[in-house]
Amino acid sequence: MLAAFYQQLEATLLQEGIITASTWRTHAGQRFFYVSSALPAHRLTTQLVETGERLTADTKLKPECIYVRSEEHGHVYRFRFLVPSEKQFCCGNLCEDCFLLREKH
């Protein structure tokens, strides 16, 4: 499921002309996003977060984008979609933090 969000993020950024090329790499269990863009790092960071938020607007996922470094031909980010750590269902074991006992906002 999350793979579809990463693919959609990359496709949207390319389609909107925010980036010109990109690739995903995994190091030590962390996903890194290598991108080529004419934008400076601080503006590109903002664009990445805004695009991630648009893609996850109707979900509980939240984008996290951390600038790592700039290279000769682009920038490197640690980007991921975070899944909430709170319970999303009732397991039937009468837990203290049961989903059914949570106040609705």
What is the share, in percent, of the chain residues with pLDDT greater than 90?
71
Question: Quick one: pLDDT at residue 32?
Answer: 97
Between the two ends of the chain, the Cα-to-Cα distance in Å is: 27
Question: Quick one: pLDDT at residue 104?
Answer: 63
Provide the mean pLDDT of the chain: 90
Cα torsion through 44, 61, 15, 19, rounded to 10: 20
Rounded to two decimals, the pTM is 0.79
When pLDDT is averaged across residues 55-71 and rounded to a whole number, the result is 94
When pLDDT is averaged across residues 73-102 and rounded to a whole number, the result is 83
